[in-house]
Structure 1
């Protein structure tokens, strides 16, 4: 389990991007993190993956503050940002091997996984090309492959389906479900509320840095006669 305890991020005095966030992410679950632009989603994600530190509070993994042994925590983690960055003068295959080296994935295992996911995303031939020649969608697929090459116990995705074609989007949703069913924690942000409603075990809605709702989709909508989109627009307007 990952637990956010009273997490606050203050960029300027008195201006809090995330304010006193308390949240639990469970193994074997897909958690959808929803909110308008500027609500604090990406800031929360960057604190979870240790890109930026919180101003106050702590993030625990199985009861241990992730700052106590950040390298051990990161070995379990995969992160797919909303705008992936690559070493442009590497081929796709060289980049994936570089990531596999960092996570100490053996040659046989990495080869099997790279072949599996390159076939799944239709990148078999493109892996021979320089990353600088990739389209946005191809880069997004490469970022997803890099995240999966070490079979992470925790996968964090920030708008993972932006720029993907319908087939690749479906594959990503199936992969997320498979990872969760095998016991991983899947945490992702999205503006596509239909996707969240269809695949998430739980969702949290953040607005202006505050978590304003957190539950299963069924529990959120029980007795309201609304879609998740209706509920989201209503509650964020009220907040």
Structure 2
């Protein structure tokens, strides 16, 4: 059976011992502009190793841009990023060995079968073929994709595509798992199975960062959370620290604004 627990970090970077107390992800002064628009405006954030960290914010808040820079997919205009002490941009190869990524909206090689796609990602990460074969089989079984493993990804449903993308992120047993809207379009049974897998991964020493719009899900699933809006961190800490005895969704709405206390026009009332 596939073991989602990440290996000893000393095996990930030759000669590098594990460093106790180092954040799984450290962000300092992160800035990104697209023309005149400032998408990320000086974000500072530490994600503790071994945490299940939720990143929440309205559409356009800068969540996806931040995660793309943190995982080496998008170069920042300014700032410093490190994964378990490894600088993401001065040593990108070493940093990327430590992280598995599920990015919302990123195209997959969908003319491969599901099994071929996971195998390809395993081989790209330098794993031997027998290990890749075993882990691919285990992941397809774990995510209820065994029967679909031989089908082209282009023919998958949205939920199946999300699950096969998660398998590609897990196959090399990374130290940090970064998931952008991982439960979007996933049915409730599959979502429950994925949550179990992720909690087992964290219990085994891994760290999960999940970006989501579902406040109830984040409140139940995560132990830490950061609220982002307009490219800035408005609040961060443990879930209990941020919500301060209130519902996380209410705290979120109060922080980002935008709630309109209106019952709507008269013509919408049917009685």
TM-score (norm 1): 0.93
RMSD: 1.5
Give matches, 1:111-122, under 5 Å. Answer: 111-122=133-144
Could you list the structure 1 runs, at least 4 aligned residues long, displaced by more than 6 angstroms after superposition: none
Q: Deviations over 1:112-161 (max 9, x none)?
A: 32222212222111111112211111111110111111111111100000
Further displaced range: 74-83 or 60-69: 60-69
Structure (1 or 2) with the larger CA radius of gyration: 2
TM-score (norm 2): 0.83
Residue 32 of structure 2 corresponds to which residue in structure 1?
9
Residue 108 of structure 1, CA deviation: 3.2
Out of 222, 226, 246, the residue aligned to residue 200 of structure 1 is 222
Mapped to 2, the partners of 1:237 and 1:116 lie a distance apart of 44
Contact kept in structure 1, 2:123 and 2:129, CA below 8 Å: no
Q: Which runs of 5+ in 1 are unaligned?
A: none
Match for residue 189 of structure 1? 211
Aligned partner of residue 21 in structure 1, secondary structure: strand
Give the structure 2 partner of residue 230 of structure 1.
250
Shift of 1:111: 2.7
CA pair 147-67 structure 1, distance change in 2 beyond 3 A:
same
Mark the CA change 1:64 to 1:132 in structure 2 (over 3 Å): closer, same or farther: closer
Which ranges in structure 2 are unaligned for 5 or more consecutive residues? 1-22, 259-271
Task: Tell me the equivalent position of 1:80.
Answer: 102
**How far apart are the structure 2 equivalents of 1:62 and 1:75?**
11
Identify the residue that residue 87 of structure 2 maps to in structure 1: 65
In structure 2, what is the equivalent of residue 53 of structure 1? 75
Judging changes above 3 Å, is the alpha-carbon distance between structure 1 residues 105 and 204 closer, same or farther for their aligned structure 2 residues?
Answer: same
| Aligned positions of 1:81-160 closer than 5 A | 81-160=103-182
CA–CA separation in structure 1 for the residues paired with 2:134 and 2:157: 25
**Per-residue deviation, 1:84:** 4.2
Give 1:22 deviation, angstroms.
Answer: 0.4
